[in-house]
Amino acid sequence: MDVSPIIDPLNDAQREAATHGVTIDGRFDADPLLVIAGAGSGKTQALSHRAAHLILSGVDPRRILLLTFSRRAADEMTRRAHAVVEAAFAARGRKGAGLKLPWARTFHAIGARLLREYAIELGLDPQFTIHDREDSADLMNLARHDLGFSKTENRFPAKGVCLSIYSRTVNAEAPLAEILRANFPWCAAWEKELKELFAAYVEAKQVQNVLDYDDLLLYWAQTMGDPVLAAEIGGRWDHVLVDEYQDTNRLQSSILMALKLGGRGLTVVGDDAQAIYSFRAATVRNILDFPNEFSPKAAVITLDRNYRSTQPILAAANGVIGLAQERYTKDLWTDCASTEKPRLVTVRDEGDQARFIADKVLENREGGMRLKDQAVLFRASHHSGPLEVELTRRNIPFVKFGGLKFLDSAHVKDMLAALRFAQNMRDRVAGFRLMQLLPGVGPASAQNALDAIAETADPIETLAALPAPSRAAADWPGLVSLVTDLRQSNMGWPAELGRVRAWYEPYLERIHEDFEMRRADLLQLEDIAAGYPSRERFLTELTLDPPDATSGQAGVPLLDEDYLILSTIHSAKGQEWRSVFVLNAVDGCIPSDLGVGTTDDIEEERRLLYVAMTRARDSLNLVVPQRFFTHGQSSTGDRHVYASRTRFIPAMLLQHFENRTWPVAKPGQQSNAGPRQVRLDVGARMRGMWR
């Protein structure tokens, strides 16, 4: 079938990728292919057209394996390929049969399907069940407890940390000692015990006939180690298409290499400049080394025409990624011209940053841009705390991706519960939450205490006189002391919040495995509190807004709602908006002060900034706060530190940006006034003192 009308809409590079390996007689005899698809370059269109072109050239859809990282991506590829095939038949007055790509799924879904089918050959019970992360962590904890590691003299890693170590070791195909040294150095002393724990965990899974997420890939990879099974499974498909190859780990790469020995029929699509998931054991080396995995080398096609952003935005993004130490050379370009350069906006502190973004968002909205067409991106979820408060205060609805809403996160709500209970000891919701933080205090004990308080005129005296629950005898006096101090208000505001944090931190570490990150949120909350004159005003202003105006809603907001997008950079990958704001474009945030341990870490942080910048279509603002308030310093020392612009935008790249400061002084303000007149000649007075 002549498919030229179908591929005509593609640009030259996309067309080359879609038709790679076509022989003179129309058959596919494809060598391995790597498609380097820059941000916004139409990789989904190219990959779906390749699948469609294969089908129209006579390849059975059942013999195409399409691997993605989300079911939504697989469904979108299938939908687009179906549309292309239907259009090809319609152009000839024919109706195409309903196209199905039965093997278009995620890596884990395909792995589960194959393991079910080959269970007998692999010594598995076909009725095995699959544990999610929470179930896996609970099973890990049972093994941890049975081995006595929960009662060690020194703190043994929590169940979630143990599962993360296990998962990383499996997916990276690296020795445990290497993983501990590089990623979990605080757990390195437990190497021997962790090996014992993981062995017990694997045995427990086998006894219970369960697999975890990692097993779906691990068992698949082990299966491909058998020549007979590898040949049988690999022979199922003539063509293997892989999306987002830069996000694969070594385990996934080894599966692909075993599926298609020599790379015949293997096509991978990705962008090394968007490899930002090393914390999931993904490695950029997979895509960088792909061509050299085969002899002769794999063909490389670069998609560098961008259909998303304006040329000034692309020029700035190209400049940032152009300083990377190792990459595939590509400079994105577009036909979308504009005179508006991306802006570097210098503000005084995080409070001004929040006010600037709120002002600009509302200004854009009045100019006809929907809130949904605007996004605020940040390196870490807690960076958006002050902004969320400002948006709530100004009644700007928003939805946050990449973490819970700041004020709705459990640890922040715990802190606010302590303040609310001290403010109003008859607030049963706050009291119930606060008391149950104590080990040994359950719903019944908390209920009894709150009932007693409700029946007395002096609740603080009643609380102090109550007998401590038997299992909370050691912790109860601390709670009473906290509430007493807050009720008396001798320390003043916002020192009261520091008092709550000091009391809460031991419970934070006990309850949450990622307590260090959550502690940063609590420090952020103290920064926010400093902007309010009193506890009462603080609590009043932070009363949770209605669910229809925030991301506190569990479901998808109503279709007719408009709301601003807040997102971590990781969660924003693959998305685009007309206007993008990037928070905290300073060293310590981008790159994160926790992400500069090695050269590879720094390079990934550079790619994160590149991903953030390439989400913007028309307008891009990188906000640079000058000061960050800090904690833990001497009372006589500086309570803030100065920040410097991110190292990824050195002076040589400033030509690509418009530099601004905010707020802008208005005409007529004192700073712009004419020459001032002398009111008091202090110098003359000083001279007169000695005459």
Residue with tokens 């419970």: 507
Q: For residues 572 and 613, what is the distance between their CA atoms, to the nearest angstrom?
A: 11
Q: Coil, strand, or helix at residue 401? A: strand
- Residue 466 — very low, low, confident or very high, per pLDDT cuts 50/70/90? confident
- Residue 541 — very low, low, confident or very high, per pLDDT cuts 50/70/90? low
Strands 564-568 and 616-625, bridge-based pairing: unpaired
ω into 296 cis (within 30 of 0): yes
Decide if pLDDT at 594 tops 60.
yes
- Mean pLDDT of all residues in 168-183: 92
Q: For residues 540 and 420, what is the distance between their CA atoms, to the nearest angstrom?
A: 10
In this prediction, residue 464 carries a pLDDT of 85
Decide if pLDDT at 240 tops 80.
yes
Q: For residues 243 and 237, what is the distance between their CA atoms, to the nearest angstrom?
A: 16
Q: Coil, strand, or helix at residue 625? A: strand
In this prediction, residue 611 carries a pLDDT of 95
**In this structure, what token pair is assigned to residue 144?**
């941890």
Q: How far is CA 67 from CA 38, 240, 361, in A?
A: 19, 8, 38
Q: For residues 659 and 314, what is the distance between their CA atoms, to the nearest angstrom?
A: 17
- Residue 676 — very low, low, confident or very high, per pLDDT cuts 50/70/90? low
Strand order in the sheet with 266-270: 104-106, 64-68, 239-242, 266-270, 33-37, 299-303
Task: List, in order, residues 6 or more apart from 246 with CB less than 8 Å away.
Answer: 270, 271, 272, 274, 275, 282, 284, 286, 287
Decide if pLDDT at 345 tops 50.
yes
Answer for the pair 139, 205: CB distance below 8 angstroms, yes or no: yes
- Enclosing H/E stretch for 574: none
Sign of CA dihedral 66, 32, 246, 180: positive
Answer for the pair 438, 446: CB distance below 8 angstroms, yes or no: no
DSSP state for residue 273 in the 8-state scheme:
G
Helix residue ranges, H only, 3-70? 4-7, 12-19, 43-56
Q: For residues 147 and 136, what is the distance between their CA atoms, to the nearest angstrom?
A: 17
Decide if pLDDT at 496 tops 50.
yes
In this prediction, residue 57 carries a pLDDT of 82
- Enclosing H/E stretch for 627: strand 627-629
Q: Mean of the per-residue pLDDT values for the chain?
A: 84
Closest CA to 248 of 77, 370, 68: 68
**In this structure, what token pair is assigned to residue 165?**
């170590």
User: 576 versus 511: which is more confidently predicted?
Assistant: 576
In this prediction, residue 421 carries a pLDDT of 85
Per-residue pLDDT reduced to its tens digit, 362-401:
999 999 999 999 999 999 888 888 899 899 889 899 988 8
DSSP state for residue 305 in the 8-state scheme:
B
Closest CA to 478 of 442, 503, 450, 511: 503
User: 80 versus 359: which is more confidently predicted?
Assistant: 359
- Mean pLDDT of all residues in 486-505: 86
In this prediction, residue 628 carries a pLDDT of 80
Q: Coil, strand, or helix at residue 344? A: strand
Q: For residues 356 and 638, what is the distance between their CA atoms, to the nearest angstrom?
A: 25
Window from 8-22, 583-597, 672-686 with minimum mean pLDDT: 672-686
Residue 276 backbone dihedrals phi, psi, to 5 degrees: -130, 20
The two counts, helices (H) then strands (E), for the chain are: 27, 17
pTM above 0.85, yes or no: no
Decide if pLDDT at 558 tops 50.
no
- Residue 36 — very low, low, confident or very high, per pLDDT cuts 50/70/90? very high
In this prediction, residue 639 carries a pLDDT of 63
Closest CA to 224 of 111, 131, 329: 111
Decide if pLDDT at 635 tops 70.
no
In this prediction, residue 515 carries a pLDDT of 76
- Mean pLDDT of all residues in 331-360: 93
Residue 123 backbone dihedrals phi, psi, to 5 degrees: 75, 20
- Residue 135 — very low, low, confident or very high, per pLDDT cuts 50/70/90? confident
Decide if pLDDT at 547 tops 70.
no
Task: List, in order, residues 6 or more apart from 237 with CB less than 8 Å away.
Answer: 63, 64, 65, 103, 259, 265
Residue with tokens 């700073």: 671
Residue 518 backbone dihedrals phi, psi, to 5 degrees: -70, -35
Ordered DSSP codes for 592-620: BTTS-SSHHHHHHHHHHHHHHHTTEEEEE
Q: For residues 49 and 96, what is the distance between their CA atoms, to the nearest angstrom?
A: 16
- Residue 353 — very low, low, confident or very high, per pLDDT cuts 50/70/90? very high
In this prediction, residue 246 carries a pLDDT of 94
- Mean pLDDT of all residues in 181-186: 89
DSSP state for residue 378 in the 8-state scheme:
E
- Residue 513 — very low, low, confident or very high, per pLDDT cuts 50/70/90? confident
- Mean pLDDT of all residues in 105-109: 87
CB count within 10 Å of CB 93 equals 6
Task: Bin 468: left if φ > 0, else alpha if -120 < ψ < 50, else beta.
Answer: beta
Window from 59-68, 159-168, 560-569 with minimum mean pLDDT: 560-569
Cite the beta strand spans of 245-373 per DSSP E.
Answer: 266-270, 299-303, 343-347
Q: For residues 495 and 501, what is the distance between their CA atoms, to the nearest angstrom?
A: 10
Per-residue pLDDT reduced to its tens digit, 212-231:
889 989 999 999 999 999 99
